[in-house]
Amino acid sequence: MSGDGVIPYSQSPMRIAAGFDHAGYPLKETIVAALEAAGHDVVDCGTDSAESVDYPVFAERAAAMVSEGDADRAVLACGSGTGVSIVANKLQGVRAVNARDPEDAEMARRHNDANVLALAGRKLGSGEAQAIIDAFLLAEFEGGRHQRRVDQIAKIENGALKEAT
């Protein structure tokens, strides 16, 4: 995030679901506070401590909000970011990216219309995580040839791509 704690992006504030397991919990307070300070409506989907929990519960809660249209985006974190991204990608209409750096997050938004961001709580400091979130929220989906591919992803979710090829 920019030096003043405000997310620099051109859209109006979003509703963002936040789902963190125990390994992602150290990032949670900083991320949620910064998102709220930037004017976003953040829905806390847990967890509430660093005590060991099962990441699928919190990832599904947050990603379901995106899937059901109750949130614009979600930010998830577990130890590696992999588990929560796998869970999120099981839900209809969710396109989650496990971003390791701002470029991963930006390109996932621009080319894949990613709507859920997964972070590695054991590998990222709060500054690194915030830079990735900035890139994720700032980038716009480019559409064009990328829209065709996102549409194909939706067909796969519905079991229809095989039939169309």
Q: Give yes or no: 45 in active site.
A: no
pTM greater than 0.85 (yes/no)? yes
Where are the alpha helices (H) located in the chain, listed in sequence order?
Answer: 25-37, 55-67, 82-88, 102-112, 126-138, 145-157, 161-164
Q: Which of 61, 75, 72, 82 shows the shortest CA–CA distance to 30?
A: 75
15-164 classified as CATH 3.40.50.300: no
Q: Which of 22, 40, 45, 78 is catalytic?
A: 78
Q: Which of 161, 10, 18, 35 shows the shortest CA–CA distance to 84?
A: 18
Q: Is the peptide bond before 47 cis (omega within 30 degrees of 0)?
A: yes
pLDDT in tens, 105-160: 999 999 999 999 999 999 999 999 999 999 999 999 988 899 999 999 999 988 88
Q: Which of 22, 40, 111, 146 is catalytic?
A: 111
Domain segments of the chain as ranges? 15-164
Q: Give yes or no: 146 in active site.
A: no
pLDDT in tens, 3-55: 444 444 446 799 999 999 999 999 999 999 999 999 999 999 999 999 999 99
